[in-house]
Chains A and B, each alone.
Chain A
Amino acid sequence: MMEALPTAGMGHNTAMVLAGTTALGIAAGTVGCFMVLRRRALVSDALSHATLPGIVIAFLVGLALGVEGRSLPLLLLGAALSGALAVACIQAITRWTRLPEDAAIGAVLSCFFGLGVVLLSVVQALPAANAAGLKGFIFGQTAAMRSGEAATLAVLALVALAGVALFFKELRLLAFDEGFARAAGWPTGRFDLGLMALVTLVTVAGLQTVGLVLIIALLITPAAAARFWTDRLGLMLLVAGLIGGLSGGIGALLSARFQNLPAGAIIVLVASCFFMASLFFAPARGLLARTLRRARLRASLGAAL
């Protein structure tokens, strides 16, 4: 099976992109579990959309400083900063006003994204600027990715994974019972910052491949799918990582095979297939298993009568 995959036609560059997107998928799936369990899925959506103005501003700063071409680390730094600023805004609004969190998320997300789109149009109209690559961050594109960039992506993903491995116990406590954690003296505010830092890492790493509109799918879908398979958090993280990694890998392969398919959308669609399959067929909590269990119970009721 593995030999049948188009390894022969795969150059060094494609192999690197494949490794990078797989690592990204694993990290996104794993980190995403905590966002799903903490009911913060939509905060990560706001974070990713809010990276756009940061990317464009970082590009302008690079232009002003005379950086040759687009400097990826600078753009990603800009993305991380504006994403973090948006999350801080959401937290400030929910903390100091009576607005519910979903309303705050909606307001902040659209504000940052709108600003980003306007800035992008302005920059693209600048005669001096070669802003062609910036649009790729919106929907993602692996075709233009260089192997050095794929390696950067893999390193970011590994750092995020290491963070989860090191603070598994703390993240589990925070996600399950924040009040108890605070009463016991754990600095839950700092935990939350740490979790958001992990999500930011994954988001920023995924900007190029999956794009900022769809990265939320890679964070949330594998985690949501994994929840159908198990009632153990450790196993859920493994399954989510597996589904995320497979989605990243298969999606990148498909988009490399068919040149005009956008990688981000394909990766997300593969993840969605895993989600649908889990929803229906997972033995622990899937719909089919549930229906069968209920039918069997009803039958045993009839027998008892």
Chain B
Amino acid sequence: MLQRLRTRNFIPPADAGVSPLSVSGLSVAYHRQLALHDVNWTAPTGGLVAVVGPNGAGKSTFLKAVLGLVTPLAGTVEVYGRPLAQQRGLIGYVPQRESVDWDFPVNALDVVTMGRYGMIGWGRRITGAHKRAGMEALDRVGMADYARRQIGQLSGGQQQRVFLARALAQEARLYFMDEPLAGVDAATEQTILAVLRELEAEGRTVICVHHDLQTVAATFDHVLMLNRTLVATGPVADTLTDANLRLAYGQRASGLSLLS
């Protein structure tokens, strides 16, 4: 069934100008609280987009609602001009590291091959070709030597790289990453940033929840600023301004801007 889904995935030709992701009227409520209100946004084609905003601004909620992991109150999500449900095979996802149990009895390669399951299909065995693809993905994040290591024995940064490798193994057009740089060591940060640039060079789109304003300008092309609703969006140089930062973060942000 998933294989059928995958062949239905549709990418329009590059000159058609259809955005990889188009969100309209997206609102999400948690119990009585409105976590996101009426977000309308069209992602640029190709490139790295940082989703920024203060704590509790709804950054992760935005990602989860777009991916259908939380049910939005209202709104539609289109991937390359088609409803998300038809385009799942074009999507790659790096969840927050804390979202899983790292004591789980699997090794790094097992986790990375999970990124291939969609291509393998229901009830079929994982073949050598998929394991090789998993090894290549591990190699890209510098983790090939740890393929057989149980995931609980990896450091936090290594675990994050395994999650990134799993997303690479998905061979997606559009990536969603939830704080991939949170709490990782310097070597891991360099590796992840290098992979992000590779993805960008390959023409893929990466939408990345990011907490560290200091590194946004150096790494990302576009920015989506949220604070319970869309505050500002556009190229980093035009958007990460003092005025917008104050809008999103309040007065606390004065002095945070790197572009003034």
Chain A residues in the interface with B (C-beta under 8 A): 37, 98, 166-167, 169-170, 172-173, 175-177, 179-180, 182-186, 227, 230-233, 236
Contacts and interface: CB of A to CB of B under 8 A. Distances in A.
A231 B170 CA distance: 25
A135 B258 CA distance: 75
A184 B91 contact: yes
B175 to A, nearest CB: 11
A176 B176 contact: no
Given A166-B123, A232-B105, A236-B105, A185 B93 contact: no
Select the residue from A37, A98, A170, A183 with max chain B CB neighbours within 10 A. Answer: A183
Interface string B97-114: 001110011110011001
A30 to B, nearest CB: 14
Given A169-B120, A185-B85, A185-B118, 19 more contacts: A98-B31, A169-B123, A169-B125, A170-B117, A172-B106, A172-B114, A176-B101, A176-B106, A177-B99, A177-B114, A179-B93, A180-B93, A182-B68, A183-B95, A184-B88, A184-B91, A184-B170, A185-B2, A231-B107
B123 A170 contact: yes
Contacts of B176: 183
B45 interface: no
Interface of B (DSSP majority class): mixed
6 contacts: A98-B31, A172-B114, A179-B93, A183-B68, A184-B88, A233-B104
Nearest to B96: A179
Interface string B106-150: 110011001101101011111000000000000000000000001
Nearest to B176: A183
Nearest to A231: B150
B53 interface: no
Contacts of B34: none
B153 to A, nearest CB: 8
B105 A170 contact: no
A176 B111 contact: yes
B88 A185 contact: yes
B162 to A, nearest CB: 11
B205 to A, nearest CB: 15
Contact of A233 (B31, B93, B105): B105
Interface residues of B, number: 37
A173 B114 contact: yes
Select the residue from B68, B69, B105 with max chain A CB neighbours within 10 A. Answer: B105
Contacts of B101: 37, 176
A40 B93 CA distance: 25
B259 interface: no
Given A173-B114, A177-B114, A185-B88, A167 B104 contact: no
Interface of B: 2, 5, 31, 64, 67-69, 85, 88-89, 91, 93, 95, 99-101, 104-107, 110-111, 114-115, 117-118, 120, 122-126, 150, 152, 166, 170, 176
B122 A170 contact: yes
A230 B106 CA distance: 10
A186 to B, nearest CB: 7
A184 B5 CA distance: 11
A55 B64 CA distance: 42
B114 A180 contact: yes
A175 B114 CA distance: 12
B66 to A, nearest CB: 10
Select the residue from B31, B114, B176 with max chain A CB neighbours within 10 A. Answer: B114
A172 B100 CA distance: 13
Given A167-B123, A169-B126, A183-B93, A230 B114 contact: no
Select the residue from A172, A176, A186 with max chain B CB neighbours within 10 A. Answer: A176
Nearest to B64: A179
Contacts of A170: 117, 122-123
A182 B105 CA distance: 21
B32 to A, nearest CB: 10
B115 to A, nearest CB: 8
Given A167-B123, A176-B100, A185 B89 contact: yes
B218 to A, nearest CB: 28
Contacts of A179: 64, 69, 93, 95, 99
Contacts of B64: 179
Contact of A185 (B5, B125, B126): B5
